[in-house]
Structures are given as C-alpha cells and as structure tokens.
C-alpha cells in the first residue's frame, strides 16, 4: 500500500515544526472545505506557547503546542503521519530526523526552507529515502486533493483554495521543481475543468530528497491518476530521469511537460535563475535540449507556455463536476480572546425552587460561613443560605465577552500574575457592569419605604436623567429574558410577602414600553429578592437594610462569585498561553489632529 492509499484511508495527522500563520491557516481551511470533522494539524512544536489559535470554518480552534516531539503525548503521536518543517534550513535536517525517530510509523515530511546545506540533504537521503517520503527542501509541499495539504501547496488564501478545487478528487497529477509553478499548474488544471489527483513539489535546491522518479512512480501506481502535468527548468538532469522511466516502461501514462529557460540562450554566459539548480552547466541541461529529449521519448512538450496550457486542456481525462460547494467560513478572520468556558448556569439552569419548597442547595458549609462574615452573625434561615448559593452559582461566569473577563484575560496574556489579572477584571465593576446590585437595592428599598407608585418612581428617575439601576441589559430584552432572573424569581414562592421584588417587576412593566431592552436585569433581581429574604427570613428592619446599602453590602454578591469566574478565565489563558494580545490594525481608528479627519 503506497502513501496515497494510506492517506485516502485517513492517515492525515500533521505535526508542524515552527509557525507560519498563512500556511497553517490554509491547511486548516482546506480541511474544513474538504469536509473533515477536525483539523489535520494535530500539534505544533514551538518553544513559545502552549496553544495556537486558528479558524476552522466559522469557529476558532486551539492547536496544542509542545516544546519538542518527545513532549507530545504518546496517544497523540499515534495519530500523526506527517511532519511539516517551517524552520530554518540549518535546523530542518535535525528536526526531520528527530521526528522520524520519535514517530517511526509516520509516512513522510515536507521541508519548506530554502538553502538546506547539501550535507544535510544527502544525510536525509541516505538515511530515510527507502522508508519515508520527504518533499523539498525549497518547495511548497505535497497535496492529495480532498485528503491532505502539506504546506503552502495549492495557495494560502481562501480564494486560491476555492479557485484550485483542491478539496475535490481528480485524475491529473501535478509535479514541478518550482514551488510557485506547482501552484500555477494546479490552477491551470482547475481552469481547464479538470481536477488534481495529487501534486508534489520536488523542490528547487540542488539536492531534493523527494525525486522526480519518486513522483512519477507514485503517479504510475495510482489508480486515481490518468495523466501527469509537469513544469521543469533549465539546469540539472531531472528530466532525463523521466525519460529513463518512459524508456524502461516504468511510466506509461500521458504526460504534458513544459521546460522554461530558453531565454538563457540570449546571454553570452549562462545565468543563475531563481532556484539553486536553475543554471546550465553543460549543453544537455539547457531548456531547448531537455524539450527535444522529452519529445524524442514521446512526451508532449510544447515550445510556448500558451501551447502548454492548450495541451492540458486537450488531455483526454474526465472534467470536474462543477463549482465547489460553498461552506460557511469566518469572514472577519479577526482573532478573539478565545475562551472555551461555558457560561455557568445558562443552558442548564439548576432547579432552585419547586412549588413552595427549595429543591437543593450546596451551601451547608461555605455559604453559611460567608453569610456570617458579611452579616456579622450566622444566618437564621435556610432560604437565605439557598438563595445566596443560587446567586453564586448563577453569577460565577457570564462568558468571556464581558468587560471584566476581557480585562482579566488580556492582563493574563500580557504575562501578569493571578492577583494583577484578577484586579484588572474587578476594576471594571461599577454602575455599568455588576456594580449596580447595591444601587438597585437602594432604589427598591426607597421606593417601597415611601410607598411610591411605580409610575411616579420612573418619572423621578427620568427627571434626574439617570438610568434606573437594575434595569436594562445589552443582550436580553422583552421576549428574550435573562434565564438567571427567571430562575431566581422562583424564590418568591417560598416567601409570604415579596414587596421589593413586586416593585421591581412593576417598574420593568413601565420601562419596557419605552424600549424592549429595559428589562429587570440580574443586578435588579438579586437585590430585590435579597431585600425580601433578609426582611422576612432574617428579620432585618428597614433601618438595618439601609445600613447594609450604605455599606455596599449587596455588591459583594456579584464581586465574590464573579471573582471565581475571572480566576477561571485567568487559568485558561495561562494554560493556552497564546501570548500577548493585540487588536488587529483594521479595528483601530486614528485621528489626524492637524486636519481633524479620521484615518482608517
């Protein structure tokens, strides 16, 4: 079974040495568009972080990073078949050698770097030629349409991947020593209406590990390949390998070839072109001599590139089945501060109250001690304990988008410690975020104490041109209530009277007429219910409740649980270790103070 058959059976796991974001992202884009359930990049070897973020369709994924091949868990190594070396030419040989030593069941590797020392290339040839397929050095990689994109091959943008149709199975193999021309050939095949079966870039250095003989032997043995398209250059004797294969009948499939570099004949001396071996050192290495030799062997080798494209179009192989089906992709490609933490309490809210009974609470140890510290005496009622426990469970976290979590995560990614990161998050708490619990308690207590109507209360705040604390939400609105508020309001069922909760809800009925987002929010609900519970179950008087408001007692019931959530976000960022966060330049707007015009 050759590497193509193994690949098509699912052996596509890649470990990458080094980071080159456009290449990494293009591989994951290919995977998603090809219908894979997960990225083929299983791990990245780099000493700078523990995870690296990429887009997988409309979502973001974290690829685990390790300091070495040895540090990759054994279970994960079993899922890896390929190594992509994005490191320097000097380090490529050692990293590839090390990979095969640690992952002996692997199929192959690709070396992206140019100018790998010749002694290193020959060392890889001698040791691994018979066991593994090593593409490069100085190439764009290896492609099996719909199954594997190992490197920059096929393009590094979504547009190039769409245009090349490399996520669809095909019947024409593409091969070249030139990386850029490998991609151009893929596009040429696609533009002709055909699809590529596989593509291999041999590499432009003088001593590539993967040879043309390897590529053409692979094409000959592949039942999915009906023909080969090849682009070569002056210099070297690669094309004579092909001729030998044809003469020995080890390659029998149709071949269209173009050899570039006739322009060299216009100079008095031979010129070194782009690749290391693109230099004529003897007569039979010229482009003209190679074309002639290929034609003598029966290969269709046109003199012009336009003739070459026409020959591709005339190949007797099946055409593709139309346009590639479009799949949902992330359009902004602006990395967020990724957090995988789920919002506590949302989507799986605990049943807090059933009828007139509290169903469960976990506050038998910690919560009573906490309430004793805050109240200055032990709580009298299990209702108070259960309610505090419910508030804490529902408020630990509300996702990574809120200001406190964002500040915590950014500070963590700046390399700061837990206390500093937590402090950065806590400093955002105020009247606009979380700090309105106490202000709302003061508002509800004042309204009920004065026996004022809800309409007059709203009018009072309107005249002051101030928002009513505990009213309004950025995300939830009329018809889409905050599920945490609904859960807490069940506690009204275990109270004989609930004047503050009733008052707060009566205010909501008025404010939502003005704007649908002016609902009773979690701050307002917590404070209203706490006033009712402390009054009925703990026996606190209005004067004692006023003292608690002045002491900012009620804000503790947001700050304490949310501190736990902020610490959780801090720990996740430290584990992921994505490095310093920076907003994309396109999100920033600078002002030209000389003209007062906005520069985008």
For every residue of 299-318, DSSP letters joined together read -B--SSHHHHHHHHHT--SP
Q: Tell me: cis bond preceding 229? Omega within 30 of 0 counts.
A: no
229 in helix, strand or coil?
strand
Nearest to 418 by CA among 551, 570, 288, 561: 570
Residue 283: other Cβ atoms inside 10 A:
8
CA distances from 535 to 279, 392, 440, 521 (A): 92, 20, 16, 21
Residue 66 contacts residue 58 (beta carbons within 8 Å)? no
d(CA 41, CA 25): 10
Nearest to 134 by CA among 112, 154, 163, 118: 112
Nearest to 202 by CA among 140, 280, 277, 274: 140
450 in helix, strand or coil?
coil
> What is the enclosing helix (H) or strand (E) of 510?
helix 499-514
d(CA 230, CA 158): 25
Is the alpha carbon torsion for 232, 237, 240, 242 positive or negative?
Answer: negative
Nearest to 255 by CA among 176, 170, 191, 164: 176
Q: Which residue is catalytic, options 275, 361, 398, 498? A: 275
The answer to whether residue 275 is catalytic is yes
> What is the enclosing helix (H) or strand (E) of 401?
none
Cα first-last separation, the chain: 56
Provide the 8-state DSSP code for 285. Answer: G
Q: What are the backbone angles phi and psi of residue 386, rounded to the nearest 5°?
A: -65, -40
d(CA 53, CA 230): 36
Beta-strand relationship, 353-354 and 255-260? unpaired
> What is the enclosing helix (H) or strand (E) of 573?
helix 556-576
107 in helix, strand or coil?
coil
Residue 454 contacts residue 503 (beta carbons within 8 Å)? yes
Beta-strand relationship, 357-358 and 353-354? antiparallel
Catalytic positions: 275
């Amino acid at each position: 079974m050759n590497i193509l058959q193994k690949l098509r059976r699912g052996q596509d796991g890649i470990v990458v040495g080094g980071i080159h974001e456009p290449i990494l992202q293009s591989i994951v884009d290919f995977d998603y568009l090809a219908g894979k359930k997960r990225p083929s990049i299983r791990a990245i070897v780099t000493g700078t972080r523990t995870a690296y973020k990429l887009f997988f369709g409309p979502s973001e994924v974290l690829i685990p990073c390790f300091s070495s091949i040895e540090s990759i868990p054994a279970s994960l190594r079993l899922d890896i078949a390929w190594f992509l070396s994005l490191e320097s030419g000097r380090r490529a040989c050692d990293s590839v050698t090390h990979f095969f030593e640690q992952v002996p069941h692997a199929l192959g590797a690709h070396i992206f770097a140019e100018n790998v020392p010749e002694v290193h290339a020959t060392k890889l040839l001698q040791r691994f030629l018979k066991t593994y397929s090593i593409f490069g050095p100085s190439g764009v990689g290896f492609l099996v349409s719909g199954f594997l994109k190992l490197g920059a091959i096929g393009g590094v943008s979504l547009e190039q991947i769409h245009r090349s149709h490399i996520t669809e199975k095909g019947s024409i193999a593409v091969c070249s020593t030139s990386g850029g021309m490998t991609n151009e050939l893929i596009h040429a095949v696609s533009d002709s209406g055909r699809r590529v079966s596989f593509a291999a870039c041999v590499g432009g250095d003088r001593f590539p590990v993967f040879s043309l003989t390897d590529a053409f032997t692979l094409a000959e043995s592949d039942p999915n390949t009906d023909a080969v398209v090849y682009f070569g250059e002056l210099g070297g004797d690669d094309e004579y390998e092909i001729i030998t294969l044809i003469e020995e009948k080890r390659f029998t499939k149709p071949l269209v070839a173009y050899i570039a570099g006739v322009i060299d004949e216009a100079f008095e001396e031979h010129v070194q072109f782009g690749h290391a071996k693109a230099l004529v050192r003897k007569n039979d290495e010229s482009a003209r001599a190679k074309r002639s030799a290929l034609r003598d062997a029966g290969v269709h080798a046109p003199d012009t590139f336009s003739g070459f494209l026409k020959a591709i179009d005339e190949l007797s192989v099946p055409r593709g089945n139309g346009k590639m089906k479009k799949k949902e992709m992330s359009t902004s490609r602006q990395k967020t501060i990724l957090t995988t933490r789920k919002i506590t309490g949302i989507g799986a809210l605990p049943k807090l109250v059933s009828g007139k009974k509290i169903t469960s609470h976990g506050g038998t140890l910690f919560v009573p001690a906490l309430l004793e510290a805050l109240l200055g005496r032990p709580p009298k009622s299990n209702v108070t304990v259960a309610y505090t426990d419910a508030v804490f469970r529902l408020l630990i976290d509300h996702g990574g988008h809120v200001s406190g979590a964002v500040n915590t995560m950014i500070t963590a990614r700046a390399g700061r410690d837990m206390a500093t990161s937590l402090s950065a998050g806590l400093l955002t708490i105020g009247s606009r975020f979380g700090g309105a619990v106490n202000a709302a308690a003061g508002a509800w207590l004042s309204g009920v104490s004065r026996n004022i109507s809800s309409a007059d209360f709203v009018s009072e705040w309107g005249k002051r041109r101030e928002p009513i604390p505990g009213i309004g939400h950025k995300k939830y609105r009329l018809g889409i209530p905050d599920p945490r508020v609904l859960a807490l309001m069940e506690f009204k069922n275990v109270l004989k009277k609930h004047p503050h909760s009733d008052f707060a809800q009566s205010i909501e009925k008025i404010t939502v007429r003005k704007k649908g987002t002016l609902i009773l929010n979690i701050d307002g609900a917590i404070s209203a219910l706490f006033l009712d519970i402390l009054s009925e179950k703990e026996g606190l008087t209005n004067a004692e409740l006023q003292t608690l408001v002045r002491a900012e007692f009620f804000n503790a019931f947001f700050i304490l649980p949310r501190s736990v959530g902020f610490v959780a976000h801090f720990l996740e960022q430290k584990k992921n270790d994505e490095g310093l966060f920076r907003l994309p330049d396109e999100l920033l707007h600078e002002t030209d103070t000389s003209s007062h015009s906005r520069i985008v």
